[in-house]
Structure 1
Amino acid sequence: MVIKPKVRGFICTNAHPHGCAQSVSNQIDYVKSQDWPQEGPKNVLVIGCSTGYGLASRITSAFGYGANTLGVCFEKQPSERKTGTAGWYNTASFHQAARANGLYAETLNGDAFSDEIKASTIEKIKDKLGKVDLVIYSLASPRRTDPDSGETFKSTLKPVGKAYTTKTYDTDKDLIHDVSLEPATQEEIDHTVKVMGGEDWERWMVQLGEAGVLSDDCKTTAYTYIGKELTWPIYGQATIGLAKEDLDRAAQAIMSKLSDKSVQANVSSLKALVTQASSAIPVMPLYISLIYKVMKDEGTHEGCIEQIVGLFSQCLYGNQPIYDDNNRYRMDGKETNDATQAKIKVLWDKVTQDNFHELSDYKGYNTEFLNLFGFELKGVDYEADVSPLASWD
């Protein structure tokens, strides 16, 4: 079939297998082009491994340090008539490349929040790896079922304390407009923390530790976005921000509960990028379009793979980590510094429907959005008749 993107709102409902393969190949090539020290992870577990920062972490582990990787994700496989998800194709391409380089690569497909997947992961580690020395937690989901109570919680993207009105950009209608959001109830806050907070990360690490599959001095990190003034009302100081703050609590709990293994747990704050998750958050498409304009003009723009390479080489396994007061790794400084934010604020105040495409880099934003699903990548023939089928084996 000839596969063209089918975009509905902030999601693309199909994916291109050859385009996803090209995206993975591009990231591998970037990682291989870097200078890597000998010291690094040997066996890595990536929870949320199939797209975005999680996929970049898996690629960096494998092709930067030669690590064996076990991944966990929840993706839909293709059929003869329908494409699979982008994450399915990304994983298939990663498996092929890793194994061609003599590296172990296997992925469990299922609900990472469930204890069943945790148990299966533990058995796989025991069977294939023995122990892991790095655990990456990079899940993004709108809902989570608590393994203890069986209750399903759903996250909410709302401000906390008071209503909030701001500019946003409707990608479907190509329209700058105001959006007003009512404050979250306490129940909505609590539910968002249950889904997007640190409870599941902590649960993973405790169960891995109790099963004896963590190496001494194992490292673990969970990814977050903090942002600055323009995004705080809907992100940092909103329901999602409170959930992300719970990651800080979880990091301390993990180190306390696994002190006998000297586990090092840190939250990593990364820059704003086009991801499937960020596209759904009010304000973010407009904000990201503007920061892309500013940071590309400054020569400081980075994508997922550049950010993660920096995190590994500088913070996780480097000698120049950047910490904040909460012991988080900070890789977002090129975005959140005062000078760059001042430039973005000027554009934010100026932007209107008439000048949006002039002041922003929406073209870059939209291209990266389509790239997530394997579209608009150089070197891919999108007029070709291709099979949607792809295997992880």
Structure 2
Amino acid sequence: MSDTSTDTMVKISEKLKGNVARSVNPYGCRQEILNQIAYVQGKGHYEGAKKALIIGGSSSYGLASRITAAFGQGADTISVAFERPPKDEKMLGTAGWYNNIYFREEAEKAGLIGKNFNGDCFTQDMKDKVIDYIKKEFGGPIDLLVYSVAAPKRVNPDNPDEVWRSVIKTVGKPVTGENINLQEGKLFEQTVEPATEDEIEATKHVMGGEDWEIWVNELKKAGVLADGFKTILYSYIGPKSTYDFYHEGTLGIAKDAAEESSHKIQKNIDDINGEALISVSRAVTTKASVVIPIFPLYCLALYKVEEETGTHETPIMHKDRLFRDMVYGGRREVDENGRLRPDAWEQREDIQEKVSKLMAKITPENFNTDLTGYAEFRREFLQINGFEVPGADETEVDLDQLMKLKP
């Protein structure tokens, strides 16, 4: 089948290889966008940004931040993300590709700008394109920059021949823990070897705050930052049960580096009354979280406990609360390091005590029963790619229609 085929319906179904999704339901992605918009609109309008730039705005936290900026605050938005378009019936593209398109369509219906840039956010060329667009077409300087990037690699801007690759590894010691194979519906034991010094440094370059600093520097130098500009980067700490793999692993070290970057950025934007923020996010189901040992098991216990306490949040719920209450509202919760802590609900002592007790009861025989939050965890994972989305039950899509979508 060629890319120019017309009137072609393609059957779709969820396909998993281990914990990696190999299929997408574009119409489910569209419905998920509509569901998230409806959630934000149901909470009502709140004062916030007017012109927002989201680096990594095509999925998860970044997409949720964009939706609450547009449909909660009434902001025009720009997203920079690297996603794949559809090619044929076997390669329908990535969920983020459709998220960007369907978000833009809904934003334009609401009279808002929803500009999408598809490409590598780390490159100077992308930064130049975005700055040029802001100057010529965006209608004013930006007052919010959200940096929400989870990337596998980054080219050294000072040496194009060097490529830094991020890794999810422990530091100093090998650690063994249980993980979930969503394809087979099984628990399995996984050992992660410690990262080398080179891998640690590379992960800091990719997942730390270097590129965040460069974006702010370039935007300010170009004169496209508004007075009172705010910028925010997302971090994660989590419970002690996940420290080896996250908070004290390579990703945790990269997030520590990002906090150092936030201080440098703050000094750079003091003269425009700016604010550089780090927000510690809650545990959510993402494409990355399902490959971190122990973390999915923790989510299974957490989601079950939160089901009983009424505190469970999806990315849109979490980020809407963050911006509505903390970034622009008067209910900031901060820790001793000045970080915003919307994860306080998750980290409540009573909740963590219940989660720890439940984790101790989980076995290969019962992990996917009503004892845990497995059903919710799996459903949220499938929804990332448009499956099991309330209001979308398509079993086939029109390839010709998809090929005509404009980013």
If the length of structure 2 is used for normalisation, what is the TM-score? 0.93
Give SS of 2:307's match: helix
Alignment of 1:72-111 (within 5 A): 72-81=80-89, 82-111=91-120
In the other structure, the counterpart of 2:323 is 312
Counterpart position of 2:58? 50
1:14 is aligned to: 23
- Distance in structure 2 (CA, Å) of the matches to 1:167 and 1:94: 37
Q: Which residue of 2 aligns with 1:126?
A: 135
Kept in 2, the 8 Å contact 1:4–1:382? The answer is no
In the alignment of these two chains, the number of paired residues is 392
Distance in structure 1 (CA, Å) of the matches to 2:405 and 2:227: 35
Q: 1:300 maps to which residue?
A: 311
Q: 2:155 aligns with which of 132, 135, 145?
A: 145
- 2:406 is aligned to 392
- Note if contact 1:163-1:183 (Cα within 8 Å) is conserved in structure 2: yes
Between the aligned partners of 2:69 and 2:85, the Cα distance in structure 1 is 25
Tell me the residue number matched to 2:255: 244
Moved more, 183-192 or 213-222: 183-192
State the AA in 2 paired with 1:256: K
Match of 2:389 among 361, 365, 377: 377
| Correspondence for 2:44 | 35
How big is the shift at 1:13? 2.1
Letter in 2 for 1:78: P
**TM superposition shift of 1:162:** 2.1
TM-fit CA distance, 1:294: 1.1
C-alpha spacing 1:223/1:390, structure 2 compared with 1 (3 Å): farther
Q: Tell me, what secondary structure is at the counterpart of 1:300?
A: coil
Residues in 2 aligned to 1:390 and 1:229: alpha-carbon distance in whole angstroms: 48
Residues 7 and 170 of structure 1, relative CA distance in 2, 3 Å threshold: closer
Please state how far the C-alpha of 1:176 moved relative to its aligned partner: 2.2
Asked whether the equivalents of residues 255 and 262 of structure 1 are also in contact (C-alpha less than 8 Å), the reply is no
Matches within 5 A, 1:1-393: 1-37=10-46, 39-81=47-89, 82-129=91-138, 130-150=140-160, 151-358=162-369, 359-387=371-399, 388-389=402-403, 391-392=405-406
Q: Which residue of 1 aligns with 2:4?
A: none
- SS of the residue 1:149 aligns to: coil
Unaligned runs of at least 5 residues, structure 2:
1-9
Following superposition, the deviation at residue 36 of structure 1 comes to 2.6
Give the drift of 1:40.
1.1
* CA distance in 2 between partners of 1:214 and 1:198 (Å): 19
Offset at 1:89? 0.7
Unaligned runs of 5+ in 1: none
Range moving further from structure 2, 256-265 or 191-200: 256-265
Deviation at 1:385, TM superposition (A): 4.5
Query: Equivalents in 1 of 2:255, 2:128: separation in Å?
Result: 26
Q: Aligned pair in 2 of structure 1 residues 124, 317: CA closer, same or farther (>3 Å)?
A: same
SS of the equivalent of 1:212 reads: coil
Q: CA deviation at 1:34?
A: 0.7
Query: How many Å apart are 1:389 and its aligned residue?
Result: 3.0
Name the % identity: 40
Corresponding letter in the other structure for 1:318: G
d(CA) in 2 for partners of 1:14 and 1:390?
A: 19
Contact 1:92 1:390 in 2 (8 A): no
1:379 Cα deviation after fit: 1.9
SS at match of 1:153: strand
Q: Report the Cα distance in structure 1 between the residues aligned to 2:182 and 2:19, rounded to whole angstroms.
A: 8
For 1:269, give the aligned amino acid.
V
Question: How far apart, in 2, do the equivalents of 1:357 and 1:63 lie?
Answer: 36
Q: Is the 8 A contact 2:243 2:249 kept in 1?
A: yes
- Give the aligned residue type for 1:372: I
Distance 2:231 2:40 in 1: 21
SS of the counterpart of 2:43? Answer: coil
Bigger drift between 75-84 and 359-368 goes to 75-84
Native 8 Å contact 2:326 2:333 kept in 1? yes
Separation in structure 2 between the aligned mates of residue 199 and residue 240 of structure 1, nearest angstrom: 14
CA distance in 2, matches of 1:216, 1:331: 26
Q: Deviations over 1:169-228 (max 9, x none)?
A: 232332223322222221111111111111111111111111111011100001111101
Whether contact under 8 Å (1:91, 1:392) holds in the other structure is: no
- After superposing the two structures, state which structure 1 stretch, 256-265 or 360-369, moved more: 256-265
In structure 2, what residue type is equivalent to 1:122?
I
TM-score (norm 1): 0.96
In structure 2, give the amino acid aligned to 1:56. Answer: A
Q: What amino acid is aligned across from residue 147 of structure 1 in structure 2?
A: P
Corresponding residue SS for 2:229: strand
Deviation at 1:80, TM superposition (A): 4.5
